[in-house]
Amino acid sequence: MAKTFPLFPRLPAELKLKIWEVNCRKPGIHIFDVCFPISKISSRCRSKQAFTGSDGTVTDKATYQTYRDQIFFDTLDITSEISDEIYTTRFRTDPSMYRITTALSAACIDSAKVIKTFLDKGNIIYLPRKRERVLYDSTSDVLCLRFGSCTAAQDLAHDFPANNSHVIYQNNISRVLEGMWSREMAESLCAACRVALDVSELWCLSKPDPIVIEELAMLCSCIHHDLETVYLVDYCIGRCQQCCKGKLMPKELQTRKCNLARDLDPEDREMDIVYGAGVIYREICDFERLGWESGHPVFVLAQTMGKIIREQQGENGPFQSVRLLACEDEAADEGERIVDTTCRKDQI
């Protein structure tokens, strides 16, 4: 800090406090990969990848043996190039705000005190690979889960004959439900109040898929305990070159709350804003400009998720609604942007 602002130590305590608070924008987003072992659906083993060093060997064999058959959290992967993915959202850097708060906590005593006040009611995310615990403010911040993009799987379901050229696009929700969760991941999800999911990772084709809907309903039943809000993030808005949503800007979709949005959340209120390092997630409410109607797959998924969570929590539960977010890069220069996305041409 002294290298860029030598007079900072001489500032009044109140001003230094404000500077620390401004640098820790809230509510923040914290993004983690959900790591799966090898399965019949996909040979890609994210759990082993988490423990594999640059030389291709497992770096911590003892810990890997403990978690190799479990599903657990890891830091956001920003390096992989996966050839079998149908479409994906890729991050050039990790925009998670916990990285900022961790750096600020280590800067000086004053900044550490500021960060501590934000974490009085924290949720703990355990990262086995690093043997680290990440603490974030569960009352306002958002836990974003990355399941990985869909995989083109042939002849893996519905007993298609071997010579059938039909390709089945799998998501990873079924793997979450079928696999064994690590104890730490289960505790973290049960304590989460605000959860975000990437729309592209919940993929279903041109009409609602009953299997996907059933799987999401089961996932909601597993994590409903303290849920207040579920965010669905559409990274195509404002950046995708394949679909019409790439020409829309998030701010344009905040001004009119259409009937579809009111069906999910009838309350008149200010749209949510969630901050990341170099990105801003804006809640949008004009679904019709996205080409949605009442039968749109993502809208049906959102309706179902909201219904299931309310049923599980009962009348006095804390759940508010399912909401849609768009991600906006703060950098104007395309080369400095954090998020890239590509969707299939027939995505809607």
Confidence of residue 4 (pLDDT cuts 50, 70, 90): low
Residue 274 has pLDDT above 90, yes or no: yes
pLDDT (0 to 100) of residue 299:
92
Query: Where along the chain do its domains lie?
Result: 25-157+164-342
Cβ neighbors of 159 (< 8 A, separation 6 or more) are none
Cα–Cα distance, 263 to 318 (Å, whole number): 18
pLDDT (0 to 100) of residue 252:
86
Residue 164 has pLDDT above 50, yes or no: no
Range from 81-85, 109-113, 152-156, 302-306 carrying the lowest mean pLDDT: 152-156
Residue 194 has pLDDT above 70, yes or no: yes
pLDDT (0 to 100) of residue 87:
53
> Measured between alpha carbons, how far apart are the two ends of the chain, in Å?
46
pLDDT (0 to 100) of residue 200:
84
Question: Model pTM?
Answer: 0.87
Q: Tell me: the pLDDT tens digits for 7-35?
A: 777 888 788 778 777 778 899 999 999 99
Query: Is the torsion defined by CA of 223, 297, 151, 278 positive or negative?
Result: negative
State the pairing for strand pair 122-127/132-137: antiparallel
Q: Mean pLDDT in the chain? A: 82
Confidence of residue 133 (pLDDT cuts 50, 70, 90): very high
In the predicted model, what is the mean pLDDT of residues 103-131? 83
The residues pairing with 72 across neighbouring beta strands, listed in sequence order, are 35
Cβ neighbors of 233 (< 8 A, separation 6 or more) are 144, 196, 197, 198, 199, 281, 324, 325, 326, 327
